[in-house]
Amino acid sequence: MNTDFRVGVTRDFLSGEGGSTLPGVTFALLDEVGLNWEYLPQDLPEITPDDAACYDAILTLRPRYPAASVERQDRRLALIARFGVGYDRIDVDACTRNGVLITITPDGVRRPVAQAVLTFMLALAGQLVPKDRLTRAGDWARAGAFVGMGLTGRTLGLVGLGNIGRDVVRLVAPFEMRVLAHDPYARQEDLPPGVELASLETVMREGDFVSVNCPLTRETRHLINAALLGLMKPTAYLINTARGPIVDEGALYDALVAGQIAGAGLDVFEQEPTPADNPLFTLPNVIVTPHALCWTDECLRGNSEGACRAIVALSRGEVPPHVVNRAALEHASIEQRLAQWRTAHGGA
């Protein structure tokens, strides 16, 4: 046990009701191995250099990590253990230059996000929201105006075929859909059964449902733009559970208003929290959720356990699983501290 290893946990894991931890989130593994952990003193949108000077590892949900947070000479921070798979709020280059590892939790998020994609797909296909509104209003006579779309034989287009996209393929298998995927990193020999690789234009043009599952990078920002939305069928739906800025929100609004596409399911937005006057909220053919549709007990438990495993591994002088910036492992400070923590843990 490394009693000198300090862990900070961002305060956004606490719910507003009595300050209890979000349901499903667990840090039990840190307690089991005897690590010294605490919630950060303040709930801030951005991690400060003072925070980085206090902790060897920070288990984090929403805060940003600009370059300034990891560049001070007295920085103690060696690991940012991200709850989830997105790390667009972290200055990866600055962390790599300064010997700060970044880990993610793909095993915890894969099935819950794939389930969220399926939830949107079924709700949009079945016209669930308008039918709910009609029923509440007692307007049963208009139900025929909202006939749903059967999934059998329809085409699902995936923008990104990583862990989440592949799990979506598993979940939709019983619906006997055609699946097209665009992913520049996917190899033909590694495709799941029944998946066809296609150009992004083909995915947009032929998909009855197009699901965005790629990470937010410089290359994917506003990847889904007006030109690509204009290729979609007027009966097709766009689903985004990845990151908001991958889709040009203004172009999406225009496409929805013009009837270029039938509707959308959005769990993510260009600005989060998105303003209450977001024009997309005025459209009846859009289902919106607050970047939390995947937040099930399974998701919260799996992600928190995955982040804790990364922290425990580092405290023992081991390379954590799922390091995003592996070049940081070559930094002299990381090599030195891994050796130090192995010794403290009783290793060679």
Q: Write down the mean pLDDT value for the chain.
A: 95
Residue 322 designated active-site: no
pTM above 0.85, yes or no: yes
Least confident of 12-16, 17-21, 165-169, 316-320: 17-21
| Sign of torsion over alpha carbons 180, 107, 48, 328 | negative
For residues 262 and 20, what is the distance between their CA atoms, to the nearest angstrom? Answer: 41
Q: Answer yes or no: is pLDDT of 272 > 90.
A: yes
Report helix, strand or coil for 27: coil
For residues 316 and 41, what is the distance between their CA atoms, to the nearest angstrom? Answer: 26
> Bridge partners of 196?
180
Residue 46 designated active-site: no
**In this structure, what DSSP letter does residue 215 have?**
P
Q: Answer yes or no: is pLDDT of 51 > 80.
A: yes
Residue 270 designated active-site: no
Q: Which listed residue (75, 166, 291, 331) is catalytic?
A: 291
Q: Answer yes or no: is pLDDT of 56 > 60.
A: yes
Q: What pLDDT does residue 13 have?
A: 93
Q: Answer yes or no: is pLDDT of 2 > 80.
A: no
Q: Please work out, in degrees rounded to the nearest 5, the angle formed at the alpha carbon of residue 162 by the alpha carbons of 158 and 163.
A: 115
Helix/strand/coil percentages in the chain, nearest 5 = 40, 15, 45
Report, as an integer, the average pLDDT of 27-53.
Answer: 95
Q: Go through the domains of the chain in sequence order and give each one's CATH number.
A: 6-104+296-344 (3.40.50.720), 109-284 (3.40.50.720)
Percent of the chain at pLDDT exceeding 90: 92
Report, as an integer, the average pLDDT of 244-271.
Answer: 98
How many C-beta neighbours within 10 Å does residue 272 have? 12
Q: Answer yes or no: is pLDDT of 347 > 80.
A: no
Q: What pLDDT does residue 73 have?
A: 86
Percent of the chain at pLDDT exceeding 70: 98
- Residues contacting residue 119 through CB under 8 Å, at least 6 positions apart: 293
Q: Answer yes or no: is pLDDT of 133 > 90.
A: yes
Q: Which listed residue (75, 89, 111, 243) is catalytic?
A: 243
The H or E element containing residue 196 is strand 195-197
Q: What pLDDT does residue 345 have?
A: 81
Q: What pLDDT does residue 17 have?
A: 59
Q: What pLDDT does residue 1 have?
A: 57
Q: What pLDDT does residue 18 have?
A: 59
Q: Which listed residue (272, 326, 330, 335) is catalytic?
A: 272
